[in-house]
Amino acid sequence: MSLSPSRDEQDGSISAVQEPRTRILFVFLDGVGLAPSGPDNPLSQVPMPHLAGLLGGPLVLSEDAGGSERGWSDALLSHNGLVLRAVDACLGVPGLPQSATGQTALFTGVNAPALVGGHITAFPTRRLREVIAERSVLKQVAVAGGEVLFANAHSERFWEMIRKKERHLGASTLTALAAGVPIPHLDDLADGRAVLWDFTHEIASRHLGYELSVVSPEVAGARLARLASQHDLVLYESFLTDLAGHRRIEAEWVLTRLDAFWGAVLDHRTPETTVILCSDHGNLEDATTKAHTTNPVPLLAVGPAAKCFEAATAITDVAPAIVSCLANRPLQADQAAGVERSG
């Protein structure tokens, strides 16, 4: 992860030869699987022009996507600067994939369901918390000298509930705590230094009692892209999609906003930023059930480092690919060191 000095033969000076910077924005959407188009798949029924323009169609499995023993092909799209994979979330463990084990696997690269002997719902258990504390992708990049950020703002109300043991920490928050980085507060949100899971603030302000100004999906997406331009790795989570999958909110309401948000992220990202989108289990893509599904989940990578994710076949491949990708390119700390050496 260091810069390599090269000697200028003309004047004998030493200068830092810098490879192109790589930044990764990891957008985690809870409960989004891949299924064929059809009347029961909101991802094929709700217009999403930004995503469709990128992919050449909706985020679905094509009818002829067979090719593996699972009945679907891992590789859906792969060309310059764009990779779309259908990755396994079941991880060889019977039953429906669940949030605690799925997110632990996604954020660490460890096969959490196999480790604990089953799929665990909701919040990580003690054993899963230990895995996250040791193998958090944010921690791995931070230890290697990278600048990392968990972009989700957390309220004081949330932390008070944690202190009173009225709720538990989710895998994404634990992933950030393992890295030892500050978690943004609502003051950071107001100052543009964070994004809410409810990225337009509509649910938080109108239904949860938070005094927040509503923002457009485009503003929120541009903000997240700007945060990504200031760090080597940024993790952002939204579980609006899972709420829609469980039919607590309308899928169309979520997907129209998500598409505008995604479009703004891509429009405002810097040339060195690769945006990764992935999920922990299927849900939203099948409107015939409120339960999770065994469908594969999308792994979408857009940007100069997209090829780092071409070989992924399971959610356990995402965190190692991020770490490997950043390990082979200069990080924030490396650039600073290069400036000092050449100064």
pLDDT in tens, 96-133: 999 999 999 999 999 999 999 999 998 999 999 999 99
Question: Is residue 153 pLDDT above 70, yes or no?
Answer: yes
Q: Where are the beta strands (DSSP E) in the chain?
A: 4-7, 14-17, 23-29, 75-79, 82-87, 148-150, 233-238, 273-278, 297-302
| The two three-digit tokens of residue 55, written as one number | 């992919």
pLDDT (0 to 100) of residue 328: 73
**86 beta partners:** 298
Question: Is residue 15 pLDDT above 60, yes or no?
Answer: no
- Model confidence over 269-292: pLDDT tens digits? 999 999 999 999 999 999 999 999
Q: How confident is the model at residue 21 (pLDDT cuts 50, 70, 90)?
A: confident
Task: Please provide residue 339's backbone torsions phi and psi, each rounded to the nearest 5 degrees.
Answer: -65, -40
More confident residue, 5 or 211: 211
Cα(332)–Cα(230) distance, integer angstroms: 9
CB of 63 within 8 A of CB of 72?
no
| The two three-digit tokens of residue 178, written as one number | 């393992």
Quickly list DSSP for 216-284: -HHHHHHHHHHHHTTSSEEEEEE-HHHHHHTTSS-HHHHHHHHHHHHHHHHHHS-TTEEEEEE-SSB-T
- Model confidence over 42-87: pLDDT tens digits? 999 999 999 999 999 999 987 654 444 455 556 677 777 999 999 9
CB of 1 within 8 A of CB of 327?
yes
| The two three-digit tokens of residue 131, written as one number | 């895995």
pLDDT (0 to 100) of residue 338: 37
Q: How confident is the model at residue 336 (pLDDT cuts 50, 70, 90)?
A: very low
pTM given for the model: 0.88
Q: Where are the beta strands (DSSP E) in 58-207?
A: 75-79, 82-87, 148-150
Cα(274)–Cα(147) distance, integer angstroms: 15
pLDDT (0 to 100) of residue 19: 58
Q: How confident is the model at residue 4 (pLDDT cuts 50, 70, 90)?
A: very low
